[in-house]
Copies of this chain bind each other. A is one copy, B any other.
Amino acid sequence: MQLIPLIRVFRVFRGLIAEFRMNERFRVHYRVAAEACDIERRAGALAIEQSVETPLGAIRDQRVMREVLGQVASIEPEGPGNYRVTLALALETTGYESGQLLNMLFGNSSLQPEVELLDLDLPPAALARLRGPTLGLAGLRRIAGASGRPLTACALKPLGSTVEYLAELAGTLAAAGIDILKDDHGLADQTSAPFARRVPAVQRAVDQANRATGGHTLYAPSLTGGPSRLLEQVRISRDWGVELAMLAPMISGLGTLQELTAAGLPILAHPAMAGTPRIASTLLLGKLFRLAGADAVIFPNYGGRFSYTPETCRAIAQAASEPWGNLAAAAPVPAGGMHPDRVEELVRFYGPDLVLLIGGALLESPDIGRVARSFVARVHSLGEVPTP
């Protein structure tokens, strides 16, 4: 008789433990192409692939079975032959390291054409540990003195130019009041403008222009190469007072992005090599780059050289900047064949919380300083723009 309350207490306790453990998992959403008769097996295989990656018979530790093995949380039909499969994966498998997170989300499944990675949901505790941007949009605005208005940006191009040319160009653009100057994403550590000569020269030109105008243009050199080389580039950048850097996380690693931003170097993330058609671009460019710490996220804008739809672009911008746990908003940076004539259109479309990156269209003018000043004036004249 007296056993019954004890069993109840035990059940409540077990429920609480289970509740706590659920919190130690995170949800990942996939689209899986499969036959109706096979989807349960296929989803189970996905849960194994993205966690223990071994036949269950090889698991001897009951803790691994209970707490580490991926679980199928739900399977929902989604159009003919397709299912939305949601897994509950153990947070501990990520080690809270962004490269490893990507590995656990899609490492091996990226090799399985029937699987697409759509989205993830992280519990607040995981968001707090992964941290996201340190500066974010608000911090970039604060440094640039750009409250309430979009930031302006331009690229230093073309690849192959001399250090002297790039420094002079940077000086002209900084004098015109552009908020952010980034290296072209093709500029790495080539003989035409080696990093160790380019970065000091460009930063000096920007500093000089800042002193003359009283403004605060930021220069973002492009960091590349293996770990030692990249850390040496970070050292050079810091030595010369660089306050922002650019990185292509899909070339240099999401883990690199996370480590650099956690160490206090704000990062403008570039989407090179991020065009994998089986990861939703909203997730990769919007959520994962932000989660790993990107303070600003460049993505291909609609109506330029890339075929992203307006809806996709808006969704990326939202994912990068909308409220998400304790994460700061990253600045959305639509780019790729933009023109100053589109300033008002883009601000109407995205709202004022963005960086307007215009490269070639400024640089091809015979008077770069004049068109840059006019671009800056056009953006400043928008004043405080209401969020749409």
Contacts and interface: CB of A to CB of B under 8 A. Distances in A.
A109 to B, nearest CB: 8
Interface stretch (A121-129, A236-244, A273-281, A377-385): A273-281
A103 interface: yes
A227 B230 contact: yes
Interface string A228-267: 1111000000000000000010011111111110010000
Counting contact residues on chain A (CB < 8 A from B), the size range is: 35 or more
A257 B225 CA distance: 10
Contacts of A278: 275-277
A363 B92 contact: no
A344 to B, nearest CB: 22
A224 B99 contact: yes
Contact of A224 (B45, B226, B255): B255
Contact of A276 (B109, B110, B157, B228): B110
A52 B273 contact: no
Interface in A50-106: 51-61, 63-64, 67-69, 90, 92-95, 97, 99-100, 102-104, 106
Interface stretch (A3-11, A13-21, A299-307): A299-307
User: Which of A51, A274, A360 has the most chain B CB atoms closer than 10 A to its own CB?
Assistant: A360
B54 A364 contact: yes
Count of identical protomers in the assembly: 2
Given A228-B259, A259-B226, A277-B278, A252 B99 contact: yes
A363 B56 CA distance: 10
Interface in A140-195: 157-162, 165, 184-186, 188-192
Greatest chain B CB density within 10 A among A92, A160, A274 is at A160
B188 A95 contact: yes
A272 B224 contact: no
24 contacts: A49-B305, A53-B360, A54-B364, A55-B361, A55-B363, A61-B160, A63-B160, A64-B161, A68-B158, A92-B190, A93-B186, A95-B191, A99-B226, A99-B251, A103-B224, A107-B186, A107-B272, A109-B275, A112-B306, A227-B230, A227-B259, A229-B259, A231-B231, A252-B255
